[in-house]
Structure formats: structure tokens, C-alpha cells
Homo-oligomer: A and B are copies of this chain.
């Protein structure tokens, strides 16, 4: 009889008057867990707690249906766990949303002979077959944009580069899994020339004369592609300023984070927007 032996799950308070269940304290037995969870919710309600965070490791996936039966919802998941939540108060839920964005980068790499580093992808969207495009990819967990751009270019083409600036960024919605996508166009300076393909993802790569790259009908016909490349070209002619990156510390969380901002030399330049 688990009801008799049931105790409240081990949990600690968060700073928003919620509780976070210790994953180590979870029983493996679903019936025992059901009794403990029910008792715990009553206990937390009595204490005026608000949000409950329950992280279930994949080894304990048997407990997922139990938590659902007790009214928990999914919050987010990673390969090896699912995070479930329960909002106790009779007022709008204030729990933070889960991650909402993928972050992609494109590397605009141009050499001193005005040749752009371009690729053709193995798997490309219908209608884009034959298009030579700049290398693109997603940044990895906890990776910097400036590092991710250099890494992706290296992985796809073998070419070493250094980060110069973020030139512009695109925000699109309902991309993968109905999430949004932030895509940062980065200008990179090449440090090597030899191309070595990534066979898994890339069909072909080469250095392509800028005029030929820009002249591709698929680019000329597409407002977004065209604008991005126009901006890159303006940047080459130094009539455009991108965002440089500076790593700065914040005292309060001791965190070093990256601030991207404009570095215009001519302090008399003015902005169009008022």
C-alpha cells in the first residue's frame, strides 16, 4: 500500500515562490510516485506555492503519464529529460516560456580578388536547386554567433576565417517545429583559400566572382537575398557599418556576455530614422 507510506517529494523553493522537485528524489515505481505527487501537490497548495517544476530523466519516462494524470503539462525537453510544470494559483500562469528560437548564421567570406566563398547544399529547398549560396548553419548550444559563423564555414568548406561584423539579421517565424528563427549575416575575413568539402551536407563549394554570385537569377529575383547581398557589398565599399562584438561582464551575475553594436568612426554621421 503506497498511500500509507507516501511522503512529500523532495523539492526546493525558487525565487518566484515556486518549487523545483529534486530529480534524484523521484521513486522509480509509478504507483509510489502517483501517491507522493498527489500528496505533494496538496502540501504545496497549502503552503501557497505557485509553479511546480518537475524534471523527469528519460530513465524515468514511466512517470510521465502519471504526472500528466495529475494535471502536469510539458514545458520543454532535451534528449535525456522532459521538464513538466504545474501552475497552482487560480490566476494567469506566470511561468516563463520555453526556448522560442533557433539561431542561424550565414558567413559572407570574400577574398582580395573579389571572390565569394559559396556552396551548393545536398538537401536544398525546392526551387533553390543550382543556387550558389553563402555557407549557413545553426549555432550550437551555448556557442557565440562570432564563433559559430567561423566554425560553420570551416566545417562546410574547410576555409579558415576570422569574424569581422554582424551585417544584418533576419527574423522569421513558424520555421522548424513552429518556432522562430533569427539568422545573422556575418562578414568574415578569409585566412586560408583551399576548399575541403563536408560530404554529408554540401554538394559543392567554390570561390565565385562577386559579380557572378550577385548576378544569379535566383538572387536577383528575391527581395530578401538581394537586399542582404546589397548590404554586404555596401559594407565592402565601407558605406555601411555592421555590428562589432565586445565581450562585457555584468557585475551582478558575474556573467561575461557578448554585446553587438555599431562602431561608426565618423561621429558626425546621422541616422535616417528619427
Q: Tell whether A259 pairs with B227 under 8 Å between CB atoms, given A76-B76, A265-B270.
A: yes
Q: Is the CB of A225 within 8 A of B200?
A: no
Q: How large is the interface on A (under 10, 10 to 19, 20 to 34, 35 or more residues)?
A: 35 or more
- A74 at interface, CB cutoff 8 A: yes
Stretch at the interface among A5-13, A32-40, A139-147, A203-211: A139-147
- A24 at interface, CB cutoff 8 A: no
Q: Which residue of B lies closest to A64 (CB)?
A: B64
Q: Tell whether A102 pairs with B102 under 8 Å between CB atoms, given A80-B73, A227-B246, A242-B273.
A: no
| Chain A 91-120 interface mask (CB, 8 Å, partner B; 1/0) | 110101111111100000000000000000
A-to-B contact residues, CB < 8 Å: 15-16, 58, 61-62, 64-65, 68, 73-83, 91-92, 94, 96-103, 123, 125, 127-128, 138-142, 144-145, 164-165, 167-174, 176-180, 182, 200-201, 218, 221-225, 227-228, 231, 235, 238-244, 246, 248-253, 255, 257-274
| 27 sample A-B contacts, Cβ–Cβ < 8 Å, listed by A number | A58-B74, A61-B64, A76-B77, A92-B200, A94-B201, A96-B138, A98-B177, A98-B179, A100-B102, A100-B138, A100-B139, A141-B178, A142-B173, A165-B273, A168-B262, A169-B259, A170-B258, A171-B257, A182-B182, A223-B251, A225-B250, A231-B261, A239-B264, A239-B267, A242-B271, A244-B273, A263-B273
